[in-house]
Amino acid sequence: MTALAAVIRRDMRVALRVGGGALIGVLFFLTVVVLMPFAVGPDLALLKKLGPAILWLGALLASLLTLDRLFTADHDDGSLDLIVMGRTPLELVCAAKALAHWLAVGLPLVAATPVLGLLLNLDAVATGAVALTLLAGTPALTFTGMVGAALAVVLRRGGLLLSVLVLPLSIPVLIFGVAASNAAISGPSPFGTPFSILCALSLSSLVIGPFAAAASLRHGLD
């Protein structure tokens, strides 16, 4: 547990420093939300209707933008080989690194949602609903993307391969996240059903993601 806590602290310090990825994700999220009203036009009703989808799409792309940093730095300086050969189970190390990434990147996106929702003509109830669905769904984006990040490192194909692998797996999270947000805001569909599926996707990725990423790293670094 001490080793895992050290991994989390180290990755969070790296992510929070200038150029580490956390600030890049929030700035990208802000850019997407600020530019969208200019593209939609002055129709406030349409902007409010599209608000949850815009926030979710911005959060997905911001999370994807920073996923390649999960293992790249460790691979470049050789510490990834030491992690693979270490005593701590690689699955737990992958889970710790994904948790640190979510705390440094995903959680700030959730915290910024109530403020950015004002730019999309969303009231307090609507922004709260979107923030709640992002809190439940962004872990799925991180732990699913971790598998693509591991494959991108071992195959040396970088961001293009990461996007091709992760985007299709992120579509169910996007669908049920937007559906739960719209159900909470306008109805008449029940909120519980898509929100429960969204939570199930996060929990399943939490279980499967570390094992899949660890298997990819072991196979690629052998």
12-25: pLDDT as tens digits: 787 777 555 667 88
Task: Give the model's pLDDT for residue 159.
Answer: 61
> Collapsing DSSP states into helix, strand and coil, what is residue 1?
coil
CA 208 to chain centroid? 16
Question: Residues 6 or more apart from 15 whose CB is under 8 A from it?
Answer: 21, 22, 66, 69, 100, 101, 104, 105
Q: E strand or H helix at 100, and its extent?
A: helix 90-101
pLDDT above 60 (res 217): yes
Give buried/exposed letters for 71-97 (b at 16+ CB in 10 A, else e).
Answer: bbebbeeeebeebbeeeeebeebbbbb
- Angle formed at CA 74 by CA 69 and CA 79, multiple of 5 degrees: 170
| pLDDT confidence of residue 179 | 92
At 58, list the tokens. Answer: 């911005």
Instruction: State pLDDT tens for residues 131-167.
Output: 999 999 999 999 998 888 888 887 766 666 777 778 8
> Among residues 216, 21, 169, which one has the least CA distance to residue 100?
21
**pLDDT for the residue numbered 1:** 65
pLDDT greater at residue 95 or residue 21: 95
What are the phi and psi torsion angles at 62 (to 5°)? -65, -40
Where are the chain's structural domains? 2-219
Across the chain, mean pLDDT equals 84
Q: Any idea which of 65-69, 102-106, 139-143, 213-217 has the lowest mean pLDDT?
A: 65-69
pLDDT digits (tens, 9 = 90+) for 21-75: 667 888 888 998 888 888 888 788 888 888 899 999 999 988 888 887 777 777 7
Considering only the C-alpha atoms of the chain, give the largest distance between any 2 of them, rounded to a whole number of Å. Answer: 58
Q: CA-CA distance, 170 to 172, in Å (whole number)?
A: 6
